[in-house]
Structures are given as C-alpha cells and as structure tokens.
C-alpha cells in the first residue's frame, strides 16, 4: 500500500475547510461522548452480571446484545468520520475535545495549524512534537502560512 503524500495547508486554505471540518468534528465529539457513556454503562452491567457466557442467564440478554451491536456500529461511524478528516488532510488529535491539526510550513519546517471545536477560526500553531500544550498564537508569531505548500495540494516538504 502506497502512503498518501502529506497535504500542507496555508492558513487561508485551512480556514476555508473549517465549515466542513467543524461539522465532522461536532459529529465526532457528540458521538464519542455518547459511545463512551454507553461503554461505561455496558461495562458496569457486564461486571454485575458476569461476561462469561454472554448473559446466558440474563433475561435481558437479547437487549444487551442489541446494545453491543449498536455500539459497534457507532464505533464504526466514528472511524468513518476520522477517515473523512484524514482524506481532507486533517488529523484528529482528541475526539473528546474536538481537537484537530492541519499540516503547514513555517520557516522551512513542518508545523501544525491547530483548531479546537468552539473556536471561530484557526488562531494557533505548534511544533509537530509539541502537542496542544505547545500551542502558540498565530498573531504573536512570524507565521505567514504563505510557504505552506501552495494551493493546498498534496506535497512533500520540499514542495514537490
């Protein structure tokens, strides 16, 4: 399987994708929280009633199996949402917070443009290894985003 080249975004390009990204991320956050809560409740039921023979003596076994199947389907939906972001060139970093990163270039090095659900636009960046705690304001940096790969195409760091 060939690896898809990384997509680099200018700040303008990344902000242009935000309406779609925001919609996908909102769906992810909502579904992730719901799935997490249902998993917790299901784990409690399993602990109370045992998980040996899949609720063999439980009068609600059919209902519990349906809940598990629905949970599996929703987990698959979460994976599909994350895949959709990936196809756009966006990395999902935290499905609970709704945190995503866009590859970009600054001063001839790769960086991330960072956005979190609830923010109006992309206003932060960080080094690839810095993470959320390393976010820096775009207003307080020398970031121009003009050397980010030009045109939003899939490029390599040397621009090819």
pLDDT of 79 over the 70 cut: yes
Give domain status of residue 97, yes or no: no
pLDDT-above-90 percentage for the chain: 63
SS in 3 state form for 41-62? HHHHHHHHHCCCCCCCCCCCHH
Is the pLDDT confidence value at 50 over 90?
no
The predicted pLDDT at position 58 comes to 65
The answer to whether residue 142 is domain-embedded is no
Mean pLDDT of 21-35: 98
3-14 pLDDT per residue, tens? 567 899 999 999
Number of domains in the chain: 1
Residue 8 lies in a domain: no
Residue 40 has pLDDT above 80, yes or no: yes
**DSSP state for residue 4 in the 8-state scheme:** P
Q: What is the Cα–Cα distance from 137 to 142, expressed in whole angstroms?
A: 10
pLDDT at 160: 43
Write the CB contacts of 99 (distance below 8 Å, at least 6 apart in sequence): 92, 93, 114, 115, 116, 117, 132
Question: Does residue 2 sit within a domain?
Answer: no
Distance, CA of 140 to CA of 136 (rounded, Å): 8
In terms of residue numbers, what domain contains 80?
21-88
- Contact between 128 and 112 under an 8 Å Cβ cutoff? The reply is yes
Instruction: Determine, yes or no, domain membership for 9.
Output: no
Let me know if residue 101 belongs to a domain: no
């Amino acid at each position: 399987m060939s690896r898809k080249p990384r997509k680099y975004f200018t700040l303008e390009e990344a902000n242009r994708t935000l309406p779609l990204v925001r919609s996908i991320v909102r769906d992810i956050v909502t579904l992730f929280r719901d799935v997490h809560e249902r998993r917790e409740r299901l784990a409690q039921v399993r602990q109370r009633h045992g998980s040996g023979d899949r609720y063999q003596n439980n009068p609600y076994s059919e209902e519990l199996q349906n809940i598990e199947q629905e949970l599996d389907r929703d987990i698959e939906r979460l994976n599909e949402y994350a895949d959709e972001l990936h196809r756009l060139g966006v990395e999902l970093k935290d499905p609970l917070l709704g945190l995503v990163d866009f590859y970009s270039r600054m001063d001839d090095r790769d960086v991330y443009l960072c956005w979190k659900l609830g923010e109006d636009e992309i206003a932060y960046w960080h080094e690839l290894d810095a993470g959320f705690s390393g976010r820096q304001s775009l207003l307080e940096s020398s970031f121009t985003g003009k050397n980010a790969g030009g045109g939003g195409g899939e490029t390599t760091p040397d621009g090819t």
